[in-house]
Every structure is written in C-alpha cells, then in structure tokens.
Structure 1
Amino acid sequence: MEKSDVEKEEPFGQVYEDFRLVWVAEQLQDGKWTARYCWHHGTSAAAGKALQEAVLNGKSRRLLGHFNTEAETIAAIKEAVLLEAKWNPPKA
C-alpha cells in the first residue's frame, strides 16, 4: 500500500451521535442475534485510531440479550453505547 493510500483511508468505525462505533453481529443456531461491539468518544480521525487500538487490545463488549433480527441487535448496540456514555464521560 502506498503512503497516499494510507492517508486517504477513512477513520476506523462508523460515526453514531458523538462516537465512533464498530460491531460484529452474529446469528445463533436458534435464529436469535447477538453481537460484540466497541465504541469511543468523538468522531475525529484520532477517535477512529483510538477505537481501532481499543479493538485490537480486546476492549469490545458482549451485547447483553438475544434479539430477533440483526436490525434490532444494531439498535440495541446503539442504545447501549448511549447508556454507557452517560456513565463514562469523555476524558478532558
């Protein structure tokens, strides 16, 4: 990969509200859905880099509960992030 390709890369994670977020949803044998997810405060490229580092260091969380659809699972992840963010404000 050329340096110019690296510079053009999008920051890691999807922007949701004031966060960068990644997840892996999986369908279980019984047809229900679950996921692992990780998030970081901020939407900047630096926040994306911090999120990527957190993922690589195993900081993801297991979503509690099982859901009927992938869409319900993703909605639950987003709700969990908003709730967790209230308890873990950004560091100044």
Structure 2
Amino acid sequence: NKELFLKRFTLKEKQIILLLSAILRAADGTEFESVEFVTNMGIKIKKSAIKFYFKKISPELKNRFFKKSKKLSEITNKKIKCSEN
C-alpha cells in the first residue's frame, strides 16, 4: 500500500522518493533501446523545463518517453522536452 509505505517518511524524504521514482519512470521509456543509445543521453535542468538530449530517437520512442515522463513533469512543475543532438 503506497499510502502506508509513505507514512514512514518525512515530507522531504517523500519528495526525494517521488522525484527519483519519476526519473526512473521516464528512463523506463527507453528500455527497449540498445545500451549504446542509452549511454548517449544527456539532460539539462532549467528553471521552467527539463530537457533530455538523445543522440538518436525514433518517433515511437519519443512518444513512449513523453508518456512515461508525465509524472516527472507533475512532480517538478516543469515541462519535459526532448531533442536529438
């Protein structure tokens, strides 16, 4: 039970857990790609957005990535952006 589990932590600990969970969820969107693809990924955190940079990204992966990164956007109150470099 998520609620019972989170009752064990302070507010700050809960925020950290939720943020890390959201990052893992977004990363899960790249799971079906090769290790080489995942190692060629970068991230920039700005005041209003979190931008992920990929060496190469297919339209299917981009769609999956955005679906999986919704929670990260909600928790951080930042837009999630994605581009190839």
TM-score (structure 2 length as normaliser): 0.24
TM-score (structure 1 length as normaliser): 0.23
Structure with bigger RCO (C-alpha 8 Å, 6+ apart): 2
Higher strand fraction: Structure 1 or Structure 2? 1
